[in-house]
């Protein structure tokens, strides 16, 4: 029994502690929202929008609380590959690698795209 508890504590709890809903913050440069967690799903359409779905949806009032308006969809962040095709290409390959290897991503978002928070940075843990 002790081994089972130890296994759960060592291997499962750290991942659960880090993952969570995106949060929003103010800074001297501009307000932003931040996500640390798994890539639940990636989506691309022919209108030029790519979505990265969070493993936990964001609280609906979080973006507005720091002054980011126009957000109406709280389950994903977006990249417009028509606006920045090179970034979108790097973003997609990075997000896909994280999803494939089950690694967490860190994402910062500023502004909006089609009602979603606009992703402008990504890291893989």
pLDDT in tens, 61-117: 999 999 999 999 999 999 999 999 999 999 999 999 999 999 999 999 999 999 999
Does the predicted model carry a pTM greater than 0.75?
A: yes
CA atoms within 13 A on the CB side of 13: 7
Question: Residues 22-60: pLDDT tens digits?
Answer: 999 998 889 999 999 999 999 999 998 999 999 999 999
Extract the runs of DSSP E, i.e. beta strands, from the chain: 23-25, 32-37, 39-44, 49-54, 76-80, 105-113, 116-124
């Amino acid at each position: 029994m002790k081994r089972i508890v130890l296994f759960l504590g060592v291997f499962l709890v750290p991942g659960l502690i880090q993952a969570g809903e995106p949060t929003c913050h103010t800074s001297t440069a501009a307000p932003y929202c931040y996500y640390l967690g798994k890539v639940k799903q990636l989506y691309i359409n022919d209108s030029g929008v790519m979505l990265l779905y969070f493993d936990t949806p964001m609280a609906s009032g979080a973006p507005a609380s720091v002054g980011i308006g126009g957000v109406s969809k709280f389950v994903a962040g977006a990249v417009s590959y028509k606006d920045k095709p090179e970034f979108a290409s790097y973003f997609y390959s990075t997000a896909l690698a994280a999803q494939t290897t089950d690694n967490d991503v860190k994402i910062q978002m500023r502004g909006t795209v089609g009602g979603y928070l606009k992703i402008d940075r990504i890291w893989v843990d």
